[in-house]
Structure 1
Amino acid sequence: MLTQKNDTLLTDSVPRVVLQPRKALPFFSRHPWVFRGAVSRITGDPAAGDIVRLHAHDGVFIAWGLFNPNSNICVRLYSWDESIPLTDEFWRTRIDEAIGLRKVLFPSPDSSSACRLIFSEADGLSGLTVDRYGDWLLVQLTSRALAQRQEVLLTRLREALNPKGIWLRTEKGIRAAEGLELADGLLWGEAPPRPLFIEEHGVRYGIDVAEGQKTGFFLDQRDNRRRIADFVKGHRVLDVCCYTGGFSLNCLVNGGAAEVVAVDASEAALTQARANAELNGVGDCLQTVKQDAFKLLEEFEERGEVFDTIILDPPKLARNRQGIEAALRGYYSLNRFAMGLIRPGGFFVTCSCSGQVTHEMFADMLGQAALHANRRLQLIEVRGAAADHPASIHCLETDYLKCYLGRVL
């Protein structure tokens, strides 16, 4: 059980983390992650979750942060103003700032609305993600130090939003990364229904917020799903890694596609996709295939299958810098096969949610894939995440989603 931190009172005895020479510039520039290798020494004896002051090698104050000796990110930074330490009021203010943006983006939410309320580093709350699905909040804690401040965070969320319940979702690998032992479950109030129904761009979805991927739905692709519908009237569409049918249903309901072949490796996801198609009256137009994406595209090439539009939205292929090379090989293979299956003049949506893979890397990979597929790829739009997933200019890792819309010739 985690001990609740009370940060209301601070003293002059706050431990200091001092950086190595020539390591301070990223943190003066407000990047929030201090890795172990950048640290020269620590004064005091901070425990996991304690507040610390970050200083340059020459002693100059940089920022207030939270310490975790068990994580490769040993300090997460939150305040660069020495006069604004990390009190309970600080956390409440940051939550209010994040919610304030979403009130502008979604001025009239209702019980069928869904959006991201807090996006970790992008909202100045590194390690905290909160999604709203109707009357329920789905919380992810990827920082041990913030997890130790659950009470103040959840209290402010309840006060500001008056949800029916708050459910915790955990991220794969977080126990090893942060030394954080959490399990999915109810944090407060009523458990969410399964399925829980939302509506987006006139399409209704039943989602499983308790066991589905992420917090139940890929809210970051909201506007990209709707945009591709403008290009697919009468098309035969292939939706690879379709999950519960977000792109597929927009193509059918909003775009007037003739047929969608939806592919995923998860039978549970495909079952929900079929149910969502029936919910929207397009069940007869959706064909689902349970298959590995790489194998299926190769099989389709061998069979001479042709599609008017193909959508590729694979899961994250690189979780750290060591995985970038393998991820690019995977993206290359998927994209090369996919472009070879598109009729001349057809449309192509290809995505990457791997933050470690930059736009430049992704574009270079696409060029190589098009070349070896003997296709010309004409980019129409380069898109990113929806507005409720803002990026921080100080932490470009938050600009993670790449969604390229093009025409294949």
Structure 2
Amino acid sequence: MVTFNLMQSSSARWQIRTRPNRHYPFLSRHPWVMANALAHATLREVTPEAPSDDGQSLSADTNAAETDQPAAESDPADRQLPACGEIIDLLDYDGNWIARGLINPASRLRIRLYAFSSEEQIDDSMWAERIEQAVARRRLTGPANPQGGERLIFSESDRMSGLIVDRYADCLSIQITGGALIPRTETLIREVTAAAARHQTPCQKVLVRMDDATVKHEGVSEETLAELQSLTTLDSEADSTVWYQHNGLEMAIDLQDGQKTGGYLDQQLNHAAAASYMADRRVLDICTYTGGFALAAARAGAKEVVAVDSSERALDIAKRNAERNQLTNVRFDQGDCFDDLKERRERGEQFDAIILDPPRFAGSRNQTNAALRAYTRLNASAVDLLPPGGILVTCSCSGRVSRADFLNMLVDVGRKRGRDLIVLESRGPSPDHVFAVSCPESDYLKCIVVQVI
């Protein structure tokens, strides 16, 4: 575990060099520096005479204390390496300045980059400016619905790697995915709350969360996690269930224990788009979560909607959502997505439309092939339950699976099942989920509407 107390002085800054020829992605502003791309670290005094032009060598330094150890090895407490959350300058192997970021020695994603000009500092004013820009960016597509939901900050896409902020009515759900941001969380909360108010969406409650996988990967101690969670302003556990408007429906989500930030705002427009195909059809919604696709289909005039999820808690909320919206043409079954489809095929069931919105199958590059096999199996099982002319809405939220790979997976499904698959729509996330071209992983969501012949 690492300490999150900033030990950095105003007169010194760490410089870390990349290994030979490992710096090219960062010249294109990719914000992730993995541990295996780094060579060695140098603690360098910052003086008014220090070079400031991009690309100038910073390797000559008589005040530096340099270690030839890889920048992944030492305990930051002994000052042989930076502590978590410290500001570092990233140099190429020859000592040319590339970018500035924050380091977490406990994480495989060792450095997150935020500044690509040597004159730009990582300070409170930078966070305030970027948060204001991010919230204002959401207003480009129209005014906000104060009772609705939207993504205000999307990590790398808004030049704030490690920070995700969603708004549900008057509640902010803040998800920290980068441990190096923890010492700055209070500043981030203050600036996001102020920016939301300036843009006519004042928020009264704040939830700060970090999921279990992030806690493990970022090396966050139980004590630090407790301190982070203490910044939450929800009054009680019951207060974590929040109602907001979603495509004309009243929807509840669980801010405290729900998936991601509590809900899936990225699918908001896809819920509505898929519903336009569902009138008078018998619909199966696999991985329904709190019922986004299922309830939209039910309201659009589906004859019957069967919604399936493995989580009892999610289904309880989905049932409440159906009752709140007086939708009686939907029922909820608990089960595993693969097992449920298999059992329905064995019973000879058929549906006019099937929606597949599984969780992420690939969290890293080396899981991509296994993920594609899982998608193939899932989609092939769904195709087995569709008659000619049936509608398949299939989704992937795995950023490591490209759109081209996902479509090729559907080609494989058609070949295996001897069916033609005609794409009616190839969709992405709602426009509040912007993506940065320098970080293709941020273009993660695929939602493909297919007619199966």
Instruction: Note whether the superposition's TM-score is higher than 0.5.
Output: yes
Aligned to 1:95: 131
**Per-residue Cα deviation, 1:99-136 (whole angstroms, up to 9, x for no partner):** 111233351332x2111111111100000111111111
Structure 1 contact 140–168 (Cα < 8 Å) conserved: yes
Aligned to 2:330: 286
**Per-residue Cα deviation, 1:45-104 (whole angstroms, up to 9, x for no partner):** 421111010111222111111111111111110010111111211111111111111233
Unmatched 5+ stretches in structure 2: 44-80, 197-201
**Per-residue Cα deviation, 1:3-35 (whole angstroms, up to 9, x for no partner):** 56599x843x31111111211110000000111
Structure 2 contact 253–317 (Cα < 8 Å) conserved: yes
Structure 2 contact 284–305 (Cα < 8 Å) conserved: yes
Aligned to 1:171: 211
**Per-residue Cα deviation, 1:260-310 (whole angstroms, up to 9, x for no partner):** 01011111211211211111111x211111111111111111121111110
Structure 1 residue aligned with 2:180, among 142, 145, 148?
A: 145
| Counterpart AA for 1:91 | W
Structure 2 residue aligned with 1:266, among 283, 308, 311?
A: 311
- Distance in 2, matches of 1:6 and 1:399, equals 36
**Per-residue Cα deviation, 1:123-174 (whole angstroms, up to 9, x for no partner):** 0000011111111111111111111111211121232234212111222311
| RMSD (Å) for aligned C-alpha atoms | 1.8
| Structure 1 residues 299 and 317: alpha-carbon distance in aligned structure 2, compared to 1, 3 A threshold | same
Instruction: Give SS of 2:88's match.
Output: strand
Quick check: 1:256 aligned with 2:255?
Answer: no
Structure 1 contact 167–191 (Cα < 8 Å) conserved: no
1:6-405 pair list within 5 angstroms: 10-11=10-11, 13-44=12-43, 45-110=81-146, 112-161=147-196, 162-181=202-221, 182-183=225-226, 185=229, 187-191=231-235, 193-253=239-299, 255-282=300-327, 284-405=328-449
Larger Rg: 2
Unmatched 5+ stretches in structure 1: none
Instruction: Give SS of 1:65's match.
Output: strand
Q: In the TM superposition, what is the alpha-carbon distance from 1:224 to its structure 2 partner?
A: 0.5
- Distance in 2, matches of 1:196 and 1:167, equals 11
Stretch of structure 1 that moved more, 114-123 or 352-361: 352-361
Q: In the TM superposition, what is the alpha-carbon distance from 1:186 to its structure 2 partner?
A: 5.1
Q: In the TM superposition, what is the alpha-carbon distance from 1:195 to its structure 2 partner?
A: 2.7
Structure 1 contact 5–149 (Cα < 8 Å) conserved: no
- Distance in 1, matches of 2:182 and 2:430, equals 26
| Counterpart AA for 1:140 | Q
- Distance in 2, matches of 1:10 and 1:381, equals 53
| Structure 1 residues 316 and 225: alpha-carbon distance in aligned structure 2, compared to 1, 3 A threshold | same
- Distance in 2, matches of 1:224 and 1:109, equals 18
**Per-residue Cα deviation, 1:309-350 (whole angstroms, up to 9, x for no partner):** 100000111111222222112111110010111111111100
- Distance in 2, matches of 1:262 and 1:342, equals 16
Instruction: Give SS of 2:195's match.
Output: helix
Stretch of structure 1 that moved more, 323-332 or 126-135: 323-332
Instruction: Give SS of 1:125's match.
Output: coil
Equivalenced residues, count: 404
Structure 1 contact 15–53 (Cα < 8 Å) conserved: yes
- Distance in 2, matches of 1:5 and 1:188, equals 22
TM-score, normalised by the number of residues in structure 1? 0.94
What is the percentage of aligned positions where both structures have the same residue? Answer: 40
Structure 2 contact 166–261 (Cα < 8 Å) conserved: yes
| Counterpart AA for 2:160 | L
| Counterpart AA for 1:123 | D
- Distance in 1, matches of 2:320 and 2:445, equals 27
Structure 1 contact 140–169 (Cα < 8 Å) conserved: yes
| Structure 1 residues 261 and 201: alpha-carbon distance in aligned structure 2, compared to 1, 3 A threshold | same
Structure 1 contact 54–64 (Cα < 8 Å) conserved: yes
- Distance in 2, matches of 1:373 and 1:187, equals 52
- Distance in 2, matches of 1:408 and 1:238, equals 15
- Distance in 2, matches of 1:316 and 1:262, equals 19
